[in-house]
Amino acid sequence: MTARGVSEELRIPERDVYDHLEHIRRTMGKGKAALTVEPAVCEACGFVFRKRGRLKTPGKCPLCRSELIREAVFSVETR
């Protein structure tokens, strides 16, 4: 689910979702489950934001400077 989807589902501001996801990532890393992130992708040139440490969707593509960025998708997987 995207951060926007979580925001709509839980009826909380999207900016708060990223804080909660970061906390989930830290705490789940110690257990049997993990937060997985399908990275954001530039819709214009196809650049994939694989090495991005922050969970928030980037504002612009570093290659083509386009602002058409598909949001990252978050899920929980068990190990």
Q: 16-35 pLDDT, tens per residue?
A: 999 999 998 888 877 788 88
Task: Look at residue 74 in the predicted model and tell me its pLDDT.
Answer: 94
Task: Look at residue 27 in the predicted model and tell me its pLDDT.
Answer: 86
**What does the alpha-carbon distance between residue 2 and residue 12 come to, in Å, rounded to a whole number?**
13
Per-residue pLDDT tens over the stretch 28-74: 877 788 889 999 999 999 999 999 888 999 999 999 999 999 999 99
C-alpha distance from residue 71 to each of 9, 32, 38, 44, 76 (Å): 16, 26, 9, 13, 17
Q: Please give the model's pTM, rounded to 2 decimal places.
A: 0.82
Task: Look at residue 42 in the predicted model and tell me its pLDDT.
Answer: 97
